[in-house]
Chains A and B, each alone.
Chain A
């Protein structure tokens, strides 16, 4: 039983990391109706830039601020170059455009920095928490707990930002209807710029945590693929959905790997979340917390 809980908690904590990536998707989707496939590439770029600056001997916080600046500039450029010419296009066109953006970002990131794997040290140790392993015999990493804490802070502040501030309300108005938002005087371009910048910030946090965990390398871009089932499960436009979806996917993936995996030869982590999300989709196409306006066919 203790083993079950260890797997479960390990899964939940890795789910938190998925949630962090999914959060970036949700932010952009909420505000612009764009499903940003490039989020994984943004995570990669942020992590690579940060680690590159750190290796040049730059102080932690200065590197953080510079990277944040890079991500903000990237967001603004994306809005200007990619999204503005595509206003009023079908969502699927915008989605394909972000696939193109993914390739550009990956290429630029590897061109500017190199494509070698890097190690990133955030000063958080990846060791089991002593008091939990003493009292229950389970291994829960300090790093995972810290990551979960950071994610919780991030989500709370974003939720407050969306519901309590003027900009947050403008964001939701834009998400609801571009034209109506324009009609009441919300500057669409500014709003999109802001939201892409915020998504860049989330990508930076996710990139730092994932980078510290697994090393900064090209496989970070595949995080986007990990986050997709999370989004389907949680609903595309829900911040809590991203969190809960992440937790469910993380836990289910690990449990399936441990309990179902051996029966079919293992390695099912790659597709199990998708199948889970698909089955869920057949029952509830809008996800757990999504808004109910998906066109049924």
Chain B
């Protein structure tokens, strides 16, 4: 009942080709945007903005990037963090070395740098696939972190290899408080997410999915696997690069190459799997889940300790986190391979009829 599309007739091609063809979806997305842009900055406190919401948005962006590559184009990548690192360090260097560099242009150029690196490490995908390719992307992971550590030029000869992101300013307006950083991240993520949503339903996205589902068949119907895969690598890396730049500029402030380690790559892969492989909405759900779960565990453990009156061993929550993450991955792969996004889909189907039986 709530979600019934009856009576919504399409009378023009434009109406038929909307991003969200159902009115309820449009209202829902608009409401979500209004809440995110207007309500959240008013009600959320500093902790929520800077420790939960901003990282959530940034991880969601990186997850969209990986989802484009893994979910839509079917190429598993374990080097997401490396592309984020490229983005972070590129943005830093562009702002540092180019006088009067607009910050948004720096972010875009950071994405482009990451895309170029992504293309280089995507080249093996022309010859190999599956986990051979996954191993190739691991090479990217180790090589990029090593290069950023060993060539001090990247970190402007800082002795510890740590970079401090510069101040963000657009047309004289400084983005320095948590609210402003949140709004900047939100704007960038919203624009890129809508772009991604459009991309995956365009000819480009269809070509990716065709290559993912069966590359020989895709080649037969005239999709060239080579440029298609490289484009997926480039766009995916672009998203990860921008996410990395935001990670440094809007979230942490100071980053070091070692921060972009394999664990971060895995974490983003987990967001893709739990959120939903091949779904933009799923990227947000997965990112929210993985960002919130450790916080939930960390607040629950002392409560439990207090309630039961027993002393839990130190490091329990971090180990518990590992176990819960791992089990969830196995659970989702076995039971619901399309993740939280699929659960949402099922919920929508149910809502079409609810509360009436027919």
Q: Taking beta carbons and an 8 Å cutoff, which residues of A are in contact with B?
A: 35, 81-82, 85-86, 89, 91-93, 95-97, 99-108, 110-111, 114-115, 225, 228-229, 232, 264-268, 270-271, 274-275, 277-278, 281-282, 285, 294-297
Chain B residue at smallest Cβ distance from A287: B132
Tell me the complex Cα distance, A81–B76, Å.
24
A81 touches B330 (CB 8 A): yes
Separation of A129 and B127 alpha carbons in the complex (Å): 45
Sampled A-B contacts (13; CB under 8 Å): A91-B131, A95-B76, A96-B76, A96-B329, A97-B329, A100-B326, A103-B325, A107-B319, A107-B322, A229-B135, A266-B150, A277-B139, A282-B124
A264's closest neighbor in chain B, by CB?
Answer: B150
Asked, given contacts A86-B334, A111-B323, A115-B315, whether A285 binds B128 with beta carbons under 8 Å apart, the answer is yes
Question: Contact: B135 with A100, CB < 8 Å?
Answer: no
Give 16 new A-B contacts, CB below 8 A, not counting A100-B325, A278-B139: A86-B334, A110-B322, A225-B138, A229-B135, A270-B146, A271-B146, A274-B139, A274-B142, A274-B143, A275-B139, A278-B124, A281-B136, A294-B132, A295-B129, A295-B130, A297-B125
- B130 is contacted by which of A92, A228, A268, A277 (Cβ under 8 Å)? A92
Q: Provide the bound-state CA to CA distance between A253 and B54, in Å.
A: 41
B273 within 8 A of A: yes
Closest chain B CB from A40 CB (angstroms): 12
Which of B129, B149, B316 has the largest number of chain A CB atoms within 10 A? B129
Give the distance in Å from the alpha carbon of A225 to the alpha carbon of B263 in the complex: 13
A285-B132 contact given A99-B266, A111-B319, A115-B315, CB 8 Å threshold: yes
A232 to B137, CA, bound (A): 13
Q: Using A95-B134, A278-B124 as known contacts, say yes or no to A297 and B149 having CB atoms under 8 A apart.
A: no
The 8 A CB mask of B313-355 against A (1 = contact, 0 = none) is: 1011001111101111110011101000000000000000000
B319 neighbours in A (Cβ, 8 Å): 106-108, 110-111, 115
A297→B127 contact, CB < 8 A: yes
B126 (CB) vs chain A CBs: closest residue: A297
The 3 residue pairs across chains A and B that have the minimum distance between CB atoms = A100-B329, A103-B326, A107-B322
For the complex formed, measure the closest distance between the CB of B269 and the CB atoms of chain A, giving whole angstroms: 7
Q: Which residues of A contact B329 (CB under 8 A)?
A: 96-97, 99-100, 103
Write out the residue numbers on chain A whose beta carbons fall within 8 Å of the beta carbon of B138. Answer: 225, 228, 274
The residues of B that contact A270 with a CB separation of less than 8 Å are 142, 146
Q: How far is the CA of A104 from the CA of B324 in the complex (A)?
A: 7
What residues of chain A lie closer than 8 Å to B127, measured between beta carbons? Answer: 281-282, 285, 296-297
A287 nearest CB across to chain B (Å): 9
Instruction: Please provide the chain B residues from 272 to 321 with a CB less than 8 Å away from any CB of chain A in the complex.
Output: 273, 313, 315-316, 319-321
Residues from chain A with a CB closer than 8 A to the CB of B256 are: none
A105 to B266, CA, bound (A): 15
B225 within 8 A of A: yes
Which residues of chain A have C-beta atoms less than 8 A from B129's C-beta?
295, 297
- How far, in angstroms, from A267 to B315 measured CA to CA in the complex? 31
Q: Which residues of B lie under 8 Å from residue A228 when comparing CB positions?
A: 135, 138
A86-B334, A107-B321 known; A96-B128 Cβ under 8 A: no
Residues of A within 8 A of B126 (CB): 297
- Check if B151 is an interface residue, CB within 8 A of chain A: yes
- Contact residues in B for A100 (Cβ distance below 8 Å): 325-330, 333
Distance between Cα atoms of A297 and B215 in the complex (Å) = 7
B84-135, CB < 8 A from A = 124-132, 134-135
- CB-nearest residue of chain B relative to A232? B135
- Known A-B contacts A232-B135, A275-B143, A285-B128; the reply to A267 vs B149 at CB < 8 A is yes
Across the interface, which residues of A come within 8 angstroms of B330, CB to CB?
81-82, 97, 100-101, 104
A236 to B213, CA, bound (A): 24
Closest to A281 in B: B128
Q: Which residue of A lies closest to B272 (CB)?
A: A96
- Do residues B334 and A297 form an inter-chain contact, with CB atoms below 8 A? no
B residues 209-230 touching A (CB-CB < 8 Å): 215, 225, 229
